[in-house]
A and B are shown apart, each in its own frame.
Chain A
């Protein structure tokens, strides 16, 4: 109790006061945050979540660049109405390879956590170029510039950086990143699945829109490949609800 008697000394000494505040706040922070790193139940153990393919990752970078997160969340909360509209609530495991995660905090537009497969790819393209051509009441801006060629010269480096923060890309995936990206974007969706699918299961093959000229891979191809894989990695028919209950 002697500390309380001498509080005048702490309150009148800037250095002591600072140290005291840091110690107090750290205790609170450590108790709340530190266990999350060791609690095994923080990230659910579900099958299917994999790192993004190079094309999807490039699309994800565009998603960030264009600030899609300002209006779209990627987090279906465990509420009945959200489950009704968007599908199964989001799991921590589903964004474990997201750096940074895109949970978002504002929904001017709908949640996108499970938009993968919900609409045809050509719908996404038209919606991105001119949202009101397909959704008359939409307030989303158009992104017609996304039809320009994708700059993916550094895609291997980007995967490498992600590996440094814990995404388990192996050497072959990093070295073959540009090749995988082209393979996914230029594959025939109706043909035999190319090797990229073995490395990245459920990757959506082919261009976002049938391209007559077979020109270079566009930013639109990448963004749509990313959108089409969102929320599709975990097969919830195979997940035991008791294991993900929190």
Chain B
């Protein structure tokens, strides 16, 4: 090991370390670096006193400032709530229809409703309420459980076929599986339903009598539906469980609808929707109702 000696080139001493003839200069750290180092050390002492830092056996030192990131969040949310309360209090205190009648509130509610809709509703009902296979379109004027603003709000609040005590409930009988109708009768009634959907029911069809006896009690004599029990209208070309209208020929479309009706009568599918009052506040729900009602098809 070499001893500490003066390096002739730099005039500095070496550390005395030597590896394979290479020696190490003992260059001191720059003054600014030393300064920053000690400032950091002093800063840390102040930090220990002010902020939560040291773990103890059963807790930690809270610090004089009592900082808490979760506490901060509570403050931020409270501040946001106060800021929004200006609008939300008015929206919550007025009936939904009155919110819609006030242009200022309507603008606020539609903007807020759209945000909430895209996060919570669009996964099923699509952006802008375009609907999807099995999930009703909300931008048209056909409604399962009613399209007035209060009915929409009720549906958003309590949902459909869920565990909430106020949820919309109804169940279509399993006409095929439970043997209420024979497969032949189901085909006949499907043929008749196709004429109902065309708004030209052919009373002479054998399915007409079966329809009157089994289906009309919920879906109506003329297939107009019943919003009290969520029975869809059959007197139109809106089908929940059929693909969207594309460029199919009428024959192919008819065949698909007929198969859909047969499947539904044989073993009905039932849609479900969460009760959003369990997740969202009353103001958000009212804004959602306003948004959906003004999508284009509100009654």
List the interface of chain A (C-beta within 8 A of B).
8, 31-32, 35-36, 38-41, 78-80, 83, 85, 87, 89, 117-123, 126-127, 133-136, 189, 210, 212, 241, 244-246
CB-CB < 8 A to A40: which residues of B? 58-59
Q: Name B residues whose Cβ lies closer than 8 Å to a Cβ of A.
A: 1, 16-17, 55-60, 68-74, 76-77, 80, 119-120, 123-124, 126-127, 132-135, 162-163, 177, 267, 269-274, 278-279
Q: Are B77 and A120 in contact (CB under 8 A)?
A: no
- The answer to whether residues A83 and B163 also contact, given A38-B58, A119-B274 and a CB cut-off of 8 A, is no
**CB atoms of B59 and A126 under 8 A apart:** no
The contact of B74 among A123, A212, A245, by CB within 8 Å, is: A245
A130 to chain B, nearest CB (A): 10
Q: Cβ of A85 and Cβ of B279 under 8 Å apart? A: no
Whether B17 lies near A127 (C-beta < 8 A) is no
Q: Are A127 and B123 in contact (CB under 8 A)?
A: yes
Task: Determine whether the beta carbon of B68 is less than 8 Å from that of A210.
Answer: no
Please report the C-alpha to C-alpha distance between residue A189 and residue B167 in the assembled complex, in whole angstroms.
14
Q: A38-B58, A83-B73, A126-B134 are in contact. Are A212 and B177 (CB under 8 A)?
A: yes
Apart from the given pairs A39-B55, A118-B120, A134-B132, 11 other A-B contacts in the complex at a CB distance below 8 Å: A38-B57, A78-B73, A80-B73, A87-B279, A117-B279, A120-B272, A120-B273, A127-B123, A189-B163, A210-B270, A212-B177
Query: Pick the contact of A135 from B58, B80, B123 — CB < 8 Å?
Result: B123
- Chain B nearest CB, measured from A114 CB (Å): 9
| Chain A residues within 8 Å of B71, by CB | 245
Known: A35-B55, A212-B267, A245-B71. A8 touches B123 (CB 8 A): no
**A78 — nearest CB in chain B belongs to which residue?**
B73
How many Å from the CB of A182 to the closest CB on chain B?
21
Contact of B77 among A80, A123, A126 (CB under 8 A): A80
Residues of A close to B134: CB separation below 8 A: 122, 126
The distance in angstroms between the C-alpha atoms of A135 and B69, with both chains bound, is 35
12 residue pairs of the A-B complex, CB under 8 angstroms, read A8-B17, A39-B55, A79-B73, A80-B73, A80-B76, A117-B274, A119-B123, A120-B271, A120-B274, A122-B271, A123-B124, A134-B135
Q: How far is the CA of A135 from the CA of B127 in the complex (A)?
A: 9
A39 to B59, CA, bound (A): 5
8 tightest CB-CB pairs across the interface, nearest first?
A35-B55, A120-B272, A78-B73, A80-B76, A245-B71, A245-B70, A245-B68, A78-B70
Task: Kindly state the separation between the CA atoms of A41 and B126 in the bound complex, as whole angstroms.
Answer: 43
Q: Check A133 against B272 for contact (C-beta < 8 Å).
A: no
A117 lies within 8 A of B278 (CB): yes
Complex CA gap A87/B80 in Å reads 15
Bound-state CA distance A85–B284 (Å) is 12
Q: In whole Å, how far is B138's beta carbon from the nearest beta carbon of chain A?
A: 15
Closest beta carbon of chain B to A236's beta carbon, Å: 11
Chain A residue numbers with a CB within 8 Å of B1 are 8
* B120 contact set on A, CB distance < 8 A: 118
Partner among A32, A85, A246 whose Cβ is within 8 Å of the Cβ of B68: A246
Q: How far, in angstroms, from A216 to B119 measured CA to CA in the complex?
A: 34
Smallest beta-carbon distance A237→chain B, Å: 10
Chain A residues within an 8 Å CB radius of B73: 78-80, 83, 89
Shortest distance between the CB of B125 and any CB in chain A (Å):
10
Does the CB pair B55–A134 fall under 8 Å? no
Selected contact of A31 from candidates B55, B69, B126, CB within 8 Å: B55
Q: Which residue on chain A has the smallest CB distance to residue B76?
A: A80
Which residues of the partner chain A approach B272 to less than 8 Å between Cβ atoms?
Answer: 120-122
Contacts of A245 in B (CB 8 A): 68, 70-71, 74
Docked-complex contact A80 and B132, CB < 8 angstroms: no
**Contacting residues, chain B, for A117 (C-beta < 8 A):** 274, 278-279
Which residues of B have CB within 8 Å of A136? 126-127
